[in-house]
Amino acid sequence: MITHIGILNIISVVYLSFVVAFTFGLNEHDVPGKIVRVTIVRWVKLLLALLVISIVVRILGRI
């Protein structure tokens, strides 16, 4: 069972990865449409990478 601290950590991963993706998007582009597109693409990639890492850690934790 996941605790409220665990849920808070998961929400933090989603939010902080957005902050990082948005920062790089803002720095790279000036056009709002491009900033939004680049941010979303980078955010999703980052979350997928984090998901893969969490699955690997989960599997290794069971060995």
* Interface positions with another protein (CB under 8 A): 5, 8-9, 12, 15-16, 19-20, 22-24, 26-29, 34, 38
Cα dihedral sign, 25-28-30-34: negative
What is the nearest approach in angstroms of another protein to the Cβ of residue 16? 5
Beta carbon nearer to another protein, 1 or 59? 1
What is the nearest approach in angstroms of another protein to the Cβ of residue 45? 15
Distances (CA, A) of 41 to 8, 21, 27, 56, 63: 24, 9, 15, 23, 34
